[in-house]
Amino acid sequence: MITITKCQICNNKVFEPLFSTKDYFFTGETFSVSQCAECGFVFTNPIPDKDKISEYYKTDKYLSHDTSGNGLMGNLYKVIRGFNLKNKSRLISKYKAKGRILDIGSGTGEFLNYMKKKQYEVMGIEPEQKARDFAIDNYGLDIKDGSFITKLPDKKFDLISMWHVLEHVYDINSRLKQIYELLYKDGFLINALPMIDSPDSKKFGKYWAGLDVPRHLHHFSSSTFGLLAQNNGFDIIDKYPMKFDAYFLSLLSHQAKKNMLAPIRGFFDGFIANLLADKNKNYSSMIFVLKKV
């Protein structure tokens, strides 16, 4: 295990323990969550070694890497993904009607395949081999392994996307610096994140599925992500909600609590979470649009 000794956002070394929670999704192991006493950044601490973290993804329940799409959750995920693909495409077309897209953490490739059909030039980065091979074999996509991002200094992109990926990245500053260099001057970064300050996170606490320890190393709020973006040369120019996530995460959170009425309660609490979030725009998940300063 790696013990975090310095905040990745403000470099402060004083942390406050928040709570312990479990990997309710897969292993049942217990992990601790801390908060920086200076900037309020929340993170899992300690975290698995880099050479061990892949073990926590080796389950068919990890839906962004699942190539079968079977079962209730798999089929529900596919329906939601279909809506999200259309929404993502519409969003991207607002900023770039054409051009080169790099998707970091491209999973099984559905997003890039959708954008390829929209006549964008696409490339993906995906560390997990099974998901990467599926995207290549089924969609004919150009998907590279995780280390390839360091081999792209001569490539430039009009838009780089990360859909629920940055929370998995060990060195978030290095990743944003890489993205900064890979973008054209007028390029955009589209980054989607679960929000630790959302109403559903506050309701479920340590049971909130958006924590997803230890796969989620970091737990962002709008303010802490704003600080991180600013530190690495980006301005946040727009924000958008991902309202489906409130329903999905509420369902999983009730399952973690072993609630027999999880589907019903999940739908109800997802609706309430979105209703509450309308006031402060602190939805379960948010899409941030960034430009280079």
Residue-wise pLDDT tens digits, 62-74:
545 455 555 556 6
Q: Which of the listed CATH numbers 3.20.10.10, 3.30.465.10, 3.30.70.20, 3.40.50.150 matches domain 63-163?
A: 3.40.50.150
Is residue 82 within 8 A of residue 147, CB to CB? The reply is: no
Task: Report the alpha-carbon distance of residue 211 to residue 43 in Å, rounded.
Answer: 9
What are the C-alpha distances in Å from 91 to residues 13, 25, 115, 140, 186?
Answer: 38, 30, 12, 24, 16
Only one residue has tokens 């899992």, namely 44
Confidence of residue 155 (pLDDT cuts 50, 70, 90): confident
Which one-letter DSSP state was computed for residue 146? G
Q: Would you report the helix, strand and coil content of the chain in percent, each value rounded to 5?
A: 40, 25, 35
Of all residues in the chain, the percent with pLDDT exceeding 70 is 94
**Entry pTM:** 0.90
Amino acid making up residue 240: Y
CA–CA separation, 270 and 146 (whole Å): 33
Please give the structure tokens belonging to residue 244. Answer: 């489906």
70 vs 188, more confident = 188
